[in-house]
Structure 1
Amino acid sequence: MTGADPMRLLVSGVRPEAERVISLLLEDPHGDDLPAWEPGAHVDVTLPSGRIRQYSLCGEPSDRRRYRIAVLDVSDGRGGSREIHDSVRTRDVLEIRGPRNHFRLMEATSYLLVAGGIGITPILPMARELARRQADWRLVYCGRGLTSMAFLEELGELDTRHPSRIMLVPEDRDGRPDLAAELRRHDAGAVYCCGPVGLLAAAETATASTRPDAAFVSERFTGAGSGSAADDPGFEVYCARSDVRLHVPADRSVLDCLREAGLPVLSSCEQGICGTCELSVLNGDPDHRDSLLNDEDYAGGAFLACVSRSRSAVLTLDI
């Protein structure tokens, strides 16, 4: 089995992990191995309503029989997490795409991992992997309170095997973490952060001021603001495989125009943070406005149709 095509996976377990957080185990109904993945990877989950949402894999990469995801019930979100909490049960079958990874561990002399709330999901497998490598690493895990922080038992087991590597910072007890002080104590070559926008901003600022030579890598839950398409002139998109030409006006996204033309493009966040609507640029000068991809992705032609634009008059896409 590969992750190139949609997979229909069985929900083999649903478990509470913290206040408003549940985990789902996903397995092939026939017991086949699932596509391999590395820490930082996520899958696209199609919910019964047809909504598509992205969830980080937070199990063991060596376990090819099952995936694990964790879902926080976000009361003021867009409905996906509420649907999972209310509707998805053991023995249900969900359509899964992936895994995909835009948050991959790089080689570094040492690592500081920073997680906030449900942002622990991609960070937990990273901590396990770095421990397995016998790397120099430390984890700062923040949350509103201990009852809201998922996977504490697993983190406790990891801390027992690797003492003094994990610092829990429940805000109701300890306040907010002093990330600059933590960076001064830990000479990190790479800082990985996942969580709310405020935590990401604080971690990036602390890294820049305290360890300016360190690589800062983050994964966002909400868009960072990609600029308004109304600030740009319109442009033309040529869809090479479909032999279709489209005009993208200043007030419409590429994704909107592709949909209007009947061209199938999956989408979810429409904020440039999930990668579901990723297409390949064949020709032209794209204006990347996402908060997900990096220079290597751009060099390979990756383009997020929901927020990105074109600097050239014509942009050719592989669709």
Structure 2
Amino acid sequence: MTLYEAELVVDRRHLAADGVLALTLRHPLGEELPVWEPGAHIDVVLGPGLERQYSLCGDPTDRHAWRVAVLREPDGRGGSAYVHGQLAAGGKVRVRGPRNHFALRPSPRYLFVAGGIGITPILPMLAAAEAAGARWTLLYGGRTRDSMAFTEELKRYGDRVRLAPQDESGLLDLDSLLATPQPDTLVYCCGPGPLLDAVEERCARWPAGSLHVERFQPRAKEAGKGQGEGEAAADTEFEVVLERSGHTLTVPADVSVLDTVRAAGVEVLFSCTEGTCGTCETDVLDGTPDHRDSVLDDEERQAGETMLICVSRCHGKRLVLDL
């Protein structure tokens, strides 16, 4: 699939909360931007070796503007510092996308849970659920009320939105929200890893497919353990066949599929190398992937039709990829 790629201009930047900067991006010639749906994100190239993924949090019906929001992370890897400190209004950035591994599926009822900057993909979902006539509620937590982005925009939804700043009310009360499975209800959650882990634990008794999460950081796991069904394969050598380019390569035990493919001179898009952004997702033509990513859901892992080649490996001795 060929993704849209263009240099966009920062039309507007404003603080959405303490430490959260919202950017509105437009095409410098006023051209329309690609259609996107709630849950989508874009790759933003901030400089050499500095590429980040940000959720689109504006209005999907506005074909001339994309909005993202960036949390200032003092201990981050440089992306947020660049956006907050150097990317001024009128500046340009190269973007690629959109991609969507967190799509909003149709349902008569939703429970949304957001923590901190995790509100960004949830925000357009609320508008979509509202437009579809679905029933929904949002539980939104953050360190302090001032650190929680877009609270002014959320006021229009009234008491369907419950704000829970930690310094006022403690940790989110997930038990009252999720302890009892609810029929015909989908749960969407985005935020820091501990929140997602807690939500997953409470939704373990819900019907399969009820919970959908998006992670900004890799899922914590034991060494050698994957994220697919059953036991993960050990880190052993296996063969990968690149169907389109005609290569048959050996993937060493201590080297990723991505690095092996790139070393053979085959171009492939990638970004995070941690299994969180989905940029390197590749079609699997034969073989069984050992999924170790934090992107694909259980249904996608069981299907085994794609894999994230930056972290995932092989159950068995051979994979055939559409590369």
The one-letter amino acid of 2:310's match is: C
* CA deviation vs aligned residue, 1:252-289 (integer Å, no higher than 9, x gap): 11112122223222322222111011122222222222
* Counterpart among 236, 242, 246 of residue 245 in structure 2: 242
- Residue 201 of structure 2: aligned partner: 205
- What's the CA shift for 1:150? 0.4
Within 1, Cα distance between the matches of 2:83 and 2:45? 10
Structure 2: segments with no counterpart, 5+ residues? 226-232
Match of 1:31, SS state, is coil
Question: How far 1:97 moved relative to its partner?
Answer: 1.1
Which residue in 2 is equivalent to 1:310? 314
SS in 2 for 1:232: coil
Tell me how far apart the structure 2 counterparts of residues 137 and 311 of structure 1 sit (CA, whole Å): 40
1:131 Cα deviation from its structure 2 partner: 1.4
SS in 2 for 1:121: helix
TM-score by length of 1: 0.91
Where do 1:1-319 residues align within 5 Å?
A: 4-156=3-155, 158-159=156-157, 163-183=158-178, 187=182, 189-208=185-204, 211=206, 215-225=210-220, 227-228=223-224, 231-294=234-297, 297-298=300-301, 299=303, 301-319=305-323
**C-alpha RMSD of matched pairs (Å):** 2.2
Letter in 2 for 1:166: V
- Contact preservation (8 Å) 2:179, 2:202: no
Contact kept in structure 2, 1:287 and 1:309, CA below 8 Å:
yes
Once the 2 structures are TM-superposed, how far is the Cα of residue 182 of structure 1 from its aligned partner? 2.4
TM-score (ref. length: structure 2): 0.90
Q: Which structure 1 segments of 5+ residues have no match?
A: none
Change (3 A) 1:89 1:235: same
Q: Distance in 2 between matches of 1:258 and 1:140?
A: 43
Secondary structure of the equivalent of 1:114?
strand
Segment of structure 1 superposing worse, 182-191 or 252-261:
182-191
Residue aligned with 2:126, SS: helix
* Cα deviation code 1:34-64 (max 9, x no counterpart): 1111111111111123422111000000111
The CA deviation at 1:314 is 2.2
- Which residue in the other structure is 2:229 paired with? none
> CA contact under 8 A between 1:40 and 1:122: conserved in structure 2?
yes
Aligned counterparts of 2:65 and 2:34: Cα–Cα separation in 1:
10
**Counterpart code for 1:273:** T
When residues 208 and 235 of structure 1 are mapped into structure 2, their CA distance, relative to the original with a 3 A threshold, is closer
Structure 2 vs 1, CA of residues 197 and 185 (structure 1 numbering), >3 Å: closer, same or farther? same
Change (3 A) 1:309 1:184: closer
Q: What letter matches 2:29 in structure 1?
A: H
Q: What CA distance in whole angstroms lies between the structure 2 residues aligned with 1:268 and 1:76?
A: 19
Amino acid at match of 1:170: P
Cα distance, 1:232 vs structure 2? 2.6
Distance (whole Å) between structure 2 residues aligned to residue 22 and residue 317 of structure 1:
39
The CA deviation at 1:312 is: 3.3
Q: Quick one: distance in 2 between partners of 1:248 and 1:52?
A: 26
Counterpart CA distance in 1 for 2:199 and 2:317 is: 38
- Counterparts in 2 of 1:186 and 1:235: CA distance versus 1, 3 Å: closer
**Letter paired with 1:218:** V
> What is the distance in 2 between the residues matched to 1:294 and 1:62?
27
User: What is the rounded CA distance, in whole Å, between the counterparts of 2:59 and 2:31 in structure 1?
Assistant: 16
Deviates more, 1:103-112 or 1:260-269: 260-269
Equivalent AA in structure 1 for residue 203 of structure 2:
T
